[in-house]
Structure formats: structure tokens, C-alpha cells
Homo-oligomer: A and B are copies of this chain.
Amino acid sequence: MSRLDTFIRRLQAQRLCLDALADRLQGLPGPVLELGLGNGRTYDHLRERFPGRPIFVFDRQVAAHPDCIPPADQLRLGDFRETLPAYAAEGQPPAVLIHADIGSGDKAASMQLAADLAPSWARILAPGGFLASDQAVEHPLWTPVPLPPGVDAGRYHLYCREN
């Protein structure tokens, strides 16, 4: 399997997970959080699948396509380790979905980042809300959720905050 094959599978897995959660979260109010704007492709997909909800976007800087730049009041720029705790202290409504596509080429550093952010995510996530992450991350508040059909085990990770 080439890196092109792997990349396509990862994007398909991401999309399948987000689409499945969009269905499951209908009727549960609350904002969505997107960690990592990048070129804005996934943000654009979230806008389509979660219409009418605020989508708060976290990244170091804005480098997205001009059509995919969030409104300024929904952007939180800086290091995740600073912007997530600051957001958690803002008093926004609990989030129904946190999407964390935060992996870099360094697997150990990526897992450590997810572990460092987990306490903030736990503060932010609504009961019944979901965390979709490219990194496995444990926390007493959430439990793993089976992946949608077509997503290979380990390629993405879904967790639900039960209550």
C-alpha cells in the first residue's frame, strides 16, 4: 500500500466518521470544535454537515483557502495547549463534537499532545457529545465507540461522553 493509498483511506475514514456523527448528533444542541484548520477542507465539510451550528476552529495560524476561513469570533489562534484551556474557561455552551486531527509525523509527540489536551476536551464536551480523533486518547469521562462500516480499526478513534 503506497502513501497515496494510505492517505486516501485516512481521508475516507475521517469523512465516514464525521458523517456518521452528524447523523447521530441531530437534535443535540451545541457547537462543534475543529482542531487544525490547515487548508480548510475538513472545516468546509463540517460546515456542510453541521449547518447552523457555531464551529470553533483552533490552529496556530490561518493558511486556508479564502473560501474556508472561519469568522473571526470563531477562530482561536495559538498553541492548542494554551487556546483549549482558554476556550474551556470562556463559558461557551458544551460542545457536541470535538474533531481533533492533530497528528504530525512524530507518533509519540502526537499521542502526548492528545493526552495533554484530554482534560480540556473533557471540560468542553457535552453529555452525549463525541470526540473524533486521529489519536487514541483515554479519559474517565468518555468511552470508545465502534467505528462506522468501512473504517479500518485504528485509522480513526471515536469516543462518546455518556453523561
Interface residues of A in 1-41 (CB under 8 A from B): 2-5, 7-8, 11-12, 14-15, 39-41
CA A42 to CA B6, docked complex, whole Å: 11
Q: Are B2 and A48 in contact (CB under 8 A)?
A: yes
State which of B4, B40, B49 has its C-beta within 8 Å of the C-beta of A44: B4
Q: Give chain B nearest CB distance to A75 CB in angstroms.
A: 18
CA A11 to CA B4, docked complex, whole Å: 8
Q: Give chain B nearest CB distance to A14 CB in angstroms.
A: 8
User: Which B residues are CB-close (under 8 A) to A68?
Assistant: 3
Size of the chain A interface, CB-CB below 8 angstroms: 23
Q: A65-B105, A105-B65 are in contact. Are A4 and B8 (CB under 8 A)?
A: no
Copies in the complex: 2
Q: Give chain B nearest CB distance to A160 CB in angstroms.
A: 23
Q: Are A4 and B45 in contact (CB under 8 A)?
A: yes
User: Which B residues are CB-close (under 8 A) to A49?
Assistant: 2
Nearest B-chain residue to A6, judged by Cβ: B41
CA A11 to CA B5, docked complex, whole Å: 9
User: Which B residues are CB-close (under 8 A) to A67?
Assistant: 3
Interface residues of A in 35-75 (CB under 8 A from B): 39-42, 44-45, 47-49, 65, 67-68
Q: Are A45 and B15 in contact (CB under 8 A)?
A: no
User: Which B residues are CB-close (under 8 A) to A45?
Assistant: 2-5
User: Which B residues are CB-close (under 8 A) to A7?
Assistant: 11, 41
The 4 closest A-B pairs by CB, nearest first: A4-B45, A2-B45, A3-B44, A3-B41
